[in-house]
């Protein structure tokens, strides 16, 4: 009998025929633990677990937790919300090595407190913070973050490309307004020729 294995299988199966991923763990001593089971296909005992492994169905995945590659494979093949659920279970129940893998840096994450889920990805706190725009409070990924002059960006040293664009346009609009006001009061620059005229035509605006 295989031991120290995490098994992912198709459980669920209610009247509406809704199938969902279920999980159990068999420790080194061969003790069965039901991590999550649901519906009539859910398994809550060792006998059922062994029968399932025996049947060797396509939707059953067995991970040998003595093997780091298997633990990594689990992170690759599983939805982050489920990874988090399984990791939480190991955090709460067992003293065996288990970890989730950060989608960005590939390092292991030992605790649910140290991970962030973003859509279909799972990140360690560090990678998440590098890719999170503090200004609009959304995760955009490290590639979309730009170092900026904080005096022009509400005190932020890094903002996402969208925020930068927005702030730049905002500043530009204020500048034009200032120049127009100056032109209106002093006659310089001429409101009706050159750049200001171009802008008036573009924006259909006056003062």
Query: Footprint of Zn ion on this chain (CB under 5 A)?
Result: 102, 104-105, 124, 127, 133, 135-136, 160, 163
Q: Which is nearer to Zn ion, 38 or 144 (CB)?
A: 144
Terminal CA-to-CA distance of the chain, rounded, Å? 82
Nearer to Zn ion, 167 or 200 (CB): 167
140-169 exposure pattern, b = at least 16 Cβ within 10 A, e = fewer:
bbeeebeebeeeebeebebbbeebbeebee
Which lies closer to Zn ion via its Cβ, residue 20 or residue 114? 114
Q: How far is the CB of 90 from Zn ion (least distance, A)?
A: 19
Q: From the CB of 20, what's the least distance to Zn ion, in Å?
A: 28
Q: Is 142 or 173 the residue whose CB approaches Zn ion more closely?
A: 142
Contact 132, 119 (CB under 8 A): no
Angstrom CA distances, 161 to 103, 126, 136, 171, 172, stand at 22, 20, 11, 15, 16
> Residues 179-182: contacts with CB within 8 Å, 24+ apart?
180/207, 181/207
Q: Helix (H, G, I), strand (E, B), or coil: what is residue 161?
A: helix
Minimum distance from CB of 161 to Zn ion (Å)?
Answer: 8
DSSP label at 56? T
Shortest gap between Cβ of 120 and Zn ion (angstroms)?
Answer: 15
- Please, what is the minimum distance in Å from the beta carbon of residue 126 to Zn ion? 6
Looking at the chain, the number of H-run helices and the number of E-run strands are: 6, 12
Integer Cα distance of 113 and 84 in angstroms: 10
Q: Which is nearer to Zn ion, 51 or 142 (CB)?
A: 142
Q: How far is the CB of 103 from Zn ion (least distance, A)?
A: 8
Identify which of residues 136 and 142 has a Cβ nearer to Zn ion in the complex.
136
């Amino acid at each position: 009998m295989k031991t120290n294995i995490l098994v992912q299988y198709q459980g669920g199966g209610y009247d509406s025929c809704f199938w969902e991923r279920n999980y159990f763990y068999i420790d080194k001593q061969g003790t069965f633990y039901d991590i999550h089971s649901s519906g009539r296909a859910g398994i809550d005992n060792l006998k059922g677990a062994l029968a399932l492994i025996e049947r060797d169905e396509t939707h059953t995945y067995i991970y040998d937790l003595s093997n780091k590659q298997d633990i990594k494979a689990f992170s690759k093949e599983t939805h982050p919300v489920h990874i988090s659920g399984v990791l939480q279970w190991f955090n709460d129940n067992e003293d065996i090595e288990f970890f989730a893998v950060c989608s960005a840096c590939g390092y292991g994450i030992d605790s649910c407190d140290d991970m962030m889920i973003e859509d279909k990805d799972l990140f360690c706190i560090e990678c998440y913070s590098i890719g999170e725009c503090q200004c609009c409070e959304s995760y955009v990924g490290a590639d979309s973050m730009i170092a900026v002059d904080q005096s022009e960006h509400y005190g932020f040293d890094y903002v996402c490309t969208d925020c930068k664009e927005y702030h730049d346009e905002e500043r530009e609009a204020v500048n034009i307004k200032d120049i127009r006001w100056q032109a209106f009061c002093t006659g310089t620059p001429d409101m009706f020729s050159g750049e200001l005229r171009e802008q008036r035509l573009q924006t259909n605006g006056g003062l």
